Amino acid sequence: MKPAWNKSFGFGRRRWLPAAAVVTYLLLGNPSAPAQSADYIIQPRDTLTITVWRHPDLDITVDVDSGGEIVLPLLGRVRAEGLTARQLEEELTRGWGQAYIKDPYVRVSLSQKNFFVFGEVREPGSFELGGNITVMRALAAAGGFTDFAARRKVQVIRVTADGVEVIEVNIRQVQSGRADDIKIQPGDVINVPKSFF
């Protein structure tokens, strides 16, 4: 796991969270979302499309259950949570190849692309990621800020193969042109904390 680090960028600070903090955050009810990037980690509630070349009877679209598993023909329950799509492809290739299919060619892809906005916004929830969505556009999709939003401390939480990255974005600087409006990736969670001042 990467050590915790802080660094200032034009769009805010980035830092890596310890695994315990990430697990706690995700288990408190914040859903994950699928992504197409190579380092995206499969999580419960992701929808996967699995195809096996020349074996259409094994092709399936399946949801990862709350325990992190999927159910597949011939293999039964298979652990998917915590793996990238590539790692799951390798696991399934081994599983089907050991007893059922000679040299299987397996492809795993994520069927949905969403991002999530929580905290001090008017309409929190899950949103479909289409086109070039930035933090500002994502916040607009969620109805904008409430009166209590901490606009200088918006967090973009991103799960990668290296851990969970938190990017702090100062929306006031983005609005004034002093900071870049970063692009949202599939699976990103935008958290708008409450301001106490």
Q: In this model, does residue 173 exceed pLDDT 90?
A: yes
Q: What is the DSSP string of 103-172?
A: S--EEEEE---EEEEEESBSS-EEEE--SS-BHHHHHHHTT-B-TTB-TT-EEEEEEETTEEEEEEE-HH
CATH 3.30.1950.10 location in the chain: 47-110
pLDDT tens, 115-164? 999 999 999 999 987 667 899 999 999 999 999 999 999 999 988 767 88
CATH 3.10.560.10 location in the chain: 7-33+113-192
Q: If you average pLDDT over every residue of the chain, what do you get?
A: 81
Q: Give me the mean pLDDT over the 50-67 stretch.
A: 93
- Whole-model pTM? 0.56
33 vs 38, 44, 49, 152, CA distance in Å? 14, 9, 15, 25
Of 14-18, 62-66, 119-123, least confident by mean pLDDT is 14-18
Q: In this model, does residue 183 exceed pLDDT 60?
A: yes
pLDDT tens, 83-128? 999 999 999 999 999 989 999 999 999 876 789 999 999 999 999 8
What does CATH list as the number for 7-33+113-192? 3.10.560.10
Q: Give me the mean pLDDT over the 8-33 stretch.
A: 41
Fold of 47-110: wza like fold (3.30.1950)
The pLDDT score that the predictor gives to residue 186 is 79
More confident residue, 166 or 19: 166
Q: In this model, does residue 21 exceed pLDDT 70?
A: no
